[in-house]
Amino acid sequence: MRIDFQEVVTSTNDILLEEHPKEDMALVAFRQTKGKGRKGREFFSPSNTGLYMSLILHPECNVQDAIKLTTIMAVAACRAIEKYDDSVIKIKWVNDLYKNEQKISGILTECSPNIVDGIPEYLVVGIGINVYAPDEGFPLDIMNKAGALFDVMKEDIRKDLAISIVDEFEKIYASFPDCDYEDEYIERSMLIGRDVYIVGGDKVRVINIDSNLGLVVMHENGDVETLTAGEVSLSLK
Ligand code: BTN
């Protein structure tokens, strides 16, 4: 697909949602002035260090399948990053990437306002990656959990990394919605066997991720429940 590169934009997700080009394409920026995270949060998007990219897609699928786009992007980005870094990149269900227990990337998938017969007109999958550590450090509210792929920039790999992510995404997406990537998503999960907190709720132990990528958890009273993406947020502490 076509990839447009811009130095600075408001938000790559917002631009594709507003302009909604008819063909699938990627928009890459190296700084965002209004980077968005999940739940209306800001996504720290400073210059010179990060990669901010969104894909607009027209898959003619139902909303349930559309949720897969987030997890496909997670696996694609892990594969692409590992071409440049020897570490193993892990996925914190459902849409965060971690290196050495620090969040280096987040993914936000958004849907067109138009949904006809249960099929969204288009979808936008955005990913932000802290490729290099920012000189000024991370903001106070995220400094405990945020990290970067590399401490310093020896050479700037961000453009190549963006191309690689699109390439890996397209390999999986070619057979959408029957893609074969779930086992890798599960293998890369950093949560299985760990205790996590459901935001605003219980501490639970993660037992497994099922083939629909639901998170199977056990509550302290022994009750087992499967959480689906979009329902809950989890925190590690
Ligand atoms: C999160 O961690 O809550 C998700 C963050 C998603 C950030 C990316 S950066 C590219 C795209 N444009 C945005 O405004 N947000 C996404």
- The answer for residues whose C-beta is within 8 angstroms of residue 37's C-beta and 6 or more apart is 43, 106, 108, 128
Element (H, E) at 173: helix 158-173
Q: Which of 89, 171, 182 is nearest to 129 (CA)?
A: 89
Low-confidence ranges of the chain (pLDDT < 70): 230-235, 237
Around 47, how many Cα atoms within 13 Å sit in the side-chain half-sphere? 6
Å from CA of 34 to ligand 1 middle: 10
Q: Give one DSSP letter per residue of 124-166, joined into a string.
A: EEEEEEE-B--TT---TTTTTTB--SBSS-SS--HHHHHHHHH
pLDDT at 233: 64
Residue at token pair 């903001």: 139
Nearest atom in ligand 1 to 96's CA: 2
Å from CA of 46 to ligand 1 middle: 13
Å from CA of 43 to ligand 1 middle: 6
Supply the Cα-derived Rg of the chain in whole angstroms: 17
Nearest atom in ligand 1 to 128's CA: 9
